[in-house]
Amino acid sequence: MTCVHAVLSPPEISDLRSVDLGGTVCVVFDVLRATSSIVTGIAHGVHRIFPAETIEEAREIKATHPEALLGGERKGERIAGFDIGNSPAEYCELKGREIITTTTNGTFALRACERAKAILPGSLLNIGGLAATVAELAPENLLLVCAGTGRGFAMEDAIGAGALIERLPRSGLELSDAARAVLNLHRFYAGDLLSALSTSKNGRALARIGKTRDIEWCAQVSVYPEVGCMADGMITIHRG
Ligand code: MLT
């Protein structure tokens, strides 16, 4: 039996730091755009990705990994002096490279789960591969961590979490109320994910700064079979 639960906002995510996640697999969704960009990088052969919580921490990691590129965003835009921003297209041609990334919500959510049994960056882009990986890990507890926007709930992250539940073998799952809510939200929007993402708060903010292409990219479903996993503060490809 796998107990499935979803956390839906940053304050709940902060609380995870004091929870025993030893028997828990966490899948972290920041569909627009942090975990979608991370998955894109891993699928295109990026060697390692270090999620940092702050710009200062990103620079500290850079001091010990001078070859790594600095990436991420604040207010959706590339951080001054950094090599790349947080658009998935920027993570496509960096085969063999290392990236240190810091984003407003996504990298914070990944790091809040760092004591979990396994931590997988989630996206629609590799949702089939994620479901297969979760089924193979057969965890006692599956926690779907929805990174949110600012301090609040983000619809696109909940839709991603629901898309994962939808693809898991139904028998042997016990869904919390929050897990049932994200599953039903996904069912409501499954026929038009692009418009769901485009009309979300984060989608509208990205469109305002000219990043419509990123929304289209992140709305694609199961275009990558690869799955990443985070251990010891770095994300690499999951090798089963
Ligand atoms: C985040 O981590 O909050 C996001 O990925 C924001 C963004 O990409 O604009």
pLDDT tier for residue 63 given thresholds of 50, 70 and 90: very high
Instruction: Answer yes or no: is the C-beta of 110 below 6 A from any ligand 1 atom.
Output: no
- The CATH number given to whatever domain includes residue 143 is 3.90.1560.10
Regarding the beta carbon of 211 and ligand 1, being less than 6 Å apart is answered no
Question: Is residue 121 domain-resident?
Answer: yes
**For ligand 1, is residue 102 a contact (CB within 6 Å)?**
no
182: pLDDT confidence band, cut at 50, 70 and 90? very high
Whole-number Å distance between alpha carbons of 74 and 77: 6
Asked if residue 88 is part of any domain, the answer here is no
6 within domain boundaries = yes
Q: Which atom of ligand 1 is nearest to the CA of 205?
A: 9
Mean pLDDT value across residues 216-237: 98
Q: Which strand (E) or helix (H) includes residue 86?
A: none
Whole-angstrom Cα distance, residue 189 to residue 191?
6
Q: Which ligand 1 atom minimizes the distance to the CA of 211? A: 9
- Alpha-carbon gap, residue 205 to 187, rounded angstroms: 24
pTM for the model stands at: 0.97
Domain membership flag for residue 7? yes
Tens digit of each residue's pLDDT (9 = 90 or more) over 120-178: 999 999 999 999 999 999 999 999 999 999 999 999 999 999 999 999 998 889 999 99
Collapsed DSSP state (helix, strand, coil) of residue 132: helix
pLDDT at residue 162, rounded to an integer:
98
Q: Is residue 87 part of a domain?
A: no
Q: Is the CB of 99 under 6 A from ligand 1?
A: no
Cα gap 169→220, rounded to integer Å:
22
| Ligand 1 close to Cβ of residue 103 (< 6 A) | yes
**pLDDT exceeds 90 at position 66:** yes
The string of pLDDT tens digits covering residues 2-46 is 999 999 999 999 999 999 999 999 999 999 999 999 999 999 999
Q: Would residue 181 count as lying in a domain?
A: yes
What phi, psi does 22 have (nearest 5°)?
-55, -35
Q: Which residues, at least 6 apart from 171, have a Cβ–Cβ distance to it below 8 Å?
A: none
Q: How many C-beta atoms surround the C-beta of residue 61 within 10 A?
A: 19
* Cα of 169 from ligand 1 centre, angstroms: 31
Quick one: pLDDT at residue 206?
A: 98
Binding site membership of 86 for ligand 1 (Cβ less than 6 Å): yes
Whether 105 lines ligand 1, by a CB cut-off of 6 Å, is yes
Domain count, the chain: 1
What is the pLDDT at residue 240? 77
Bridge partner residues of 49 (DSSP)? 99, 235
What SS3 class is residue 219?
A: coil
Range of the domain at 184: 2-36+106-237
What separation in Å is there between the alpha carbon of 76 and the centre of ligand 1? 6
On whether the CB atoms of residues 121 and 43 are closer than 8 A, the answer is no
Within a domain: residue 52? no
Task: Report CA(73)–ligand 1 centroid distance (Å).
Answer: 7
Degrees (nearest 5) of the Cα angle 227, 229, 234?
130
Residue 91 belongs to a domain: no
C-alpha 65/C-alpha 63 separation (Å) is: 6
pLDDT tens, residue by residue, 189-218: 999 999 999 999 999 999 999 999 999 999
Q: Which residue has the tokens 């919500």?
A: 105
